Structure 1
Amino acid sequence: MTLRERIRSAAPRRAREQMRDMLVKYGERTSDQRPLPDFLVIGTKRGGTTSLWRYLVQHPLVPRLFPAWNTKTSHYFEENWPRGESWYRSHFPTVRQRAALERKHGGPSKVGEAAPLYMFHPLVAGRVADLMPQARMVVLLRDPVQRAYSHWKERRTEGKEPLDFAAALAAEDSRTEGERAKLIADPEYFSDAFDWYSYRARGRYLEHLEPWLDSFDSSQLLFVASETLYREPARTYRQVLEFVGLPPHDLPSYDVFNDRPSKGMDEAVRAELETYYRPYNAALAERLGMTFDWA
């Protein structure tokens, strides 16, 4: 590509970036007119959050985020916490926009976002409880063995993981050592390693859910097995709509988005992970009073 061609191709990108910056600033200027969200989908990573979010925003009473209409989260409570509440509010529709939706469709609008790191980050439950004590949380929980492998495949596909799965599991502790403590000690700190390489740790679900269970009434938390979402998407979607306070709505199809089938895992690694997670799965099932296919 010649220099002239590169300049020409860069111009539309700059124009889009400038427009986005203008919209972000407008959102912040009008943040006092933008209510905080009603619900959050807080995890788990590689557990179907993208699919569920795509289903939710097809409901006529669930507006998309502003101005990045194609994204599912602001990443406020983990990565963008230092930006402040006005910045967070800027991502959601105004009271006037919500009222217009409600007049048009004859029901209550519900606003939310979906961020898989929210469940895992040690400070997010407290931050959400302080800012949005009435919010409702949807929690997707996938077989932790399959979740870990799918997580690794995502990192591998994105070019962020040079190690094979077994080696990545073996390196996890050294890669993430001290990162959780840094997150707790410094509210403005963000750790890519804590997010990227936490293959095994993220599957110890109860450990990460305890702050949520301590901070919110049980009526504000809906736990759904990811396998149930995949197997019975229409029924699960109806359950989630009822939980967040939306009227029923049928979709023409329930496609799986962002899918990376977990095939090809080494059987010895699979067996080791199944043994490792067995007591964690049992404790989770007992604490939540649920049964899981993988537990």
Structure 2
Amino acid sequence: MPRATSALIRLAVPAKRVLLPIADGLGGMTRQARALPDFLICGAQRSGTTSLFKALNLHPAATGPVLRKGVHYFDTGHHNGLDWYRSHFPLRNGLRARWGRPRVRVFESSPYYLFHPLAAERIARELPETKVVVILRDPVERAYSAHAHETARGFETESFARAIELEDRRLRGAEERLVADPTHYSRSHQHHGYVARGNYVDQLIRMERHLGRERMHVVDYADLFDGTSRTVAEIIRFLELPSVSMEPPGRHNARKRAMMPESLRAELTSRFAENDARLAHWWGRTPSWCR
């Protein structure tokens, strides 16, 4: 049942590790009876995707994958096939409208979908009616947060300043290889794109080209965490979920870190200026970090 799925997602990490193989095995055996997502949270990384996922997962007509926030099918797991993807979601029978409850919509959140060069095309082809939500955060703060996140997870060993210096070398040719060979995987492209991931406008244009603007809803991080539920209500309307009273989203996965040196902040702000201007034109609004 969808609410049971929501409860499972909130299990402690050790319990999830025990239950995941069991859930995956059962999902594989019953994959043909399982649903595909109605909508996706596609990023950006370190921009509140976990907070939004948890908030929407509390909606009575929305539920995520079994024991997961994201499946990473349209980026790193695409070679596994659509049936594998389907196996991670609830059974269709449990999602039907019944006893006054509306049909439950299924979704997931995989922040790499926005940045991976093939994800938007794959989403458009395999989920032709699915809507996507994207959250954008000050790209300087996003980069600094991503570095702390990747360091804590063991994917980064360099200081932030050094990682920025190395980024062009680390990512050189990675996107071209990912496009040329759909089975290729780039560790640096997924984990070391601190500046590249903050160049939002080209990623959004690519997504628009494949999905169409009407299937995209772009959210400003500052609006999501303004202490109200206004932005979540707007997302619910875009997704055509029943209107319900929602609490403001809480902050999740925040990591303590030292203050960024002002000289480095100024340098990065300058580097993002042109892209931010293009973003404002595409979006039709000035991002909060540019006001």
Q: Please confirm whether the aligned pair reaches a TM-score higher than 0.5, indicating the same fold.
A: yes
| TM-score of the aligned structures, taking structure 1 as reference length | 0.88
Q: Are the aligned partners of 1:65 and 1:72 in contact in 2 as well (CA < 8 Å)? A: yes
Q: Give the count of matched residue pairs.
A: 277
Distance (whole Å) between structure 2 residues aligned to residue 57 and residue 187 of structure 1:
31
Please report how far the alpha carbon of residue 16 of structure 1 lies from its aligned counterpart in structure 2 after TM superposition.
Answer: 6.4
Cα distance in 2 for residues equivalent to 1:134 and 1:51: 24
Partner residue of 1:287? 282
For the 8 Å contact 2:31–2:84, the answer to whether it is kept is yes
Q: 1:266 aligns with which of 227, 252, 261?
A: 261
Q: 2:136 — aligned with what? A: 141
Which residue of 183, 190, 198 maps to 1:195? 190
Whole-angstrom distance in 2 between the partners of 1:74 and 1:158: 18
Q: Whole-Å Cα distance in 1 between the matches of residues 100 and 150 of structure 2?
A: 41
Alignment of 1:90 onto 2:87:
yes
Matches within 5 A, 1:225-264: 225-252=220-247, 254-260=249-255, 264=259
- When residues 47 and 262 of structure 1 are mapped into structure 2, their CA distance, relative to the original with a 3 A threshold, is farther
Out of 178, 190, 201, which is 1:183 matched to? 178
Deviations 1:228-272 (A, max 9, x none): 111144111111111111112334563211113665001110001
3-state SS, counterpart of residue 294 of structure 1: helix
Amino acid at match of 2:124: A
Look up the SS of the partner of 2:238 in the other structure: helix
CA distance in 2: counterparts of 1:105 and 1:294, whole angstroms:
43
Letter in 1 for 2:80: R
Q: Output the CA distance in 1 between the equivalents of 2:79 and 2:234.
A: 34
Write the mapping of 1:23-34 to structure 2, written as runs, cut at 5 A: 23-34=23-34
Which of 89, 95, 103 in structure 1 is aligned with 2:98?
103
Deviation at 1:72, TM superposition (A): 0.8
- After the TM superposition, which parts of structure 1 deviate over 4 Å for at least 4 consecutive aligned residues? 13-17
CA distance in 1, matches of 2:95, 2:76: 27
Q: Using structure 2 for the length normalisation, give the TM-score.
A: 0.89
The one-letter amino acid of 1:210's match is I
User: Cα distance, 1:158 vs. partner?
Assistant: 2.5
Q: What code does the residue aligned with 1:88 have?
A: Y
Which of 187, 208, 215 is matched with 2:210 structurally?
215
Cα distance between partner residues in 2 of 1:280 and 1:245: 31
TM-superposed deviation, 1:50: 0.4
Q: 1:283 deviation in Å?
A: 0.3
What percentage of residue pairs aligned between the two structures are identical?
Answer: 35
CA shift in 2, pair 1:83/1:229, >3 Å: same
The gaps in structure 2 that reach 5 residues or longer are 1-13
User: Offset of 1:154 from its aligned partner?
Assistant: 1.0
What residue in structure 2 maps to residue 10 of structure 1? none
Deviations 1:53-84 (A, max 9, x none): 00011112212312xx2x21111111111110
CA gap of 1:191–1:291, structure 2 versus 1, over 3 A, is same
* Compared CA separation, residues 14 and 290, structure 1 to 2 (3 A): closer
CA 38–156 in structure 1, closer or farther in 2 if over 3 Å, else same: same
Residues 124-147 of structure 1, C-alpha deviation per residue, up to 9 Å, x if partnerless? 000000001111000100010110
Secondary structure at the counterpart of residue 202 of structure 1: helix
Equivalence for 1:275: 270
Tell me the equivalent position of 1:40.
Answer: 40
1:74 corresponds to 2:71: yes
**1:121 — aligned with what?**
116
Deviation at 1:157, TM superposition (A): 2.2
Structure 1 residue 32: deviation in Å?
2.1
String of CA shifts for 1:99-144, please: whole Å, max 9, x gaps.
Answer: 1xx3255223111101110000000000000001111000100010
Larger Rg: 1
In 1, the alpha carbon distance for the partners of 2:40 and 2:210 equals 14
CA spacing shift, 1:271–1:110, aligned 2, 3 Å: same
Tell me, in whole angstroms, the C-alpha distance in 1 between the residues paired with 2:138 and 2:274.
13
**Backbone CA RMSD of aligned residues:** 2.0
Tell me which amino acid in the other structure corresponds to 1:35: A
Question: Take 2:116 and 2:158, find their aligned partners in 1: how far apart are those partners?
Answer: 24
Return 236-245 or 252-261, whichever deviates more.
252-261
Q: Which runs of 5+ in 1 are unaligned?
A: 1-12
- Paired with 1:16 and 1:286, the residues of 2 have a C-alpha distance of 45
- Letter paired with 2:205: E
Q: How far 1:188 moved relative to its partner?
A: 1.3
User: Which residue of structure 1 aligns with residue 8 of structure 2?
Assistant: none
Preserved CA contact (<8 Å) 2:232 2:248: no
State the alpha-carbon separation in 2 of the partners of residues 15 and 235 from structure 1: 32
Amino acid in the other structure paired with 1:97: G
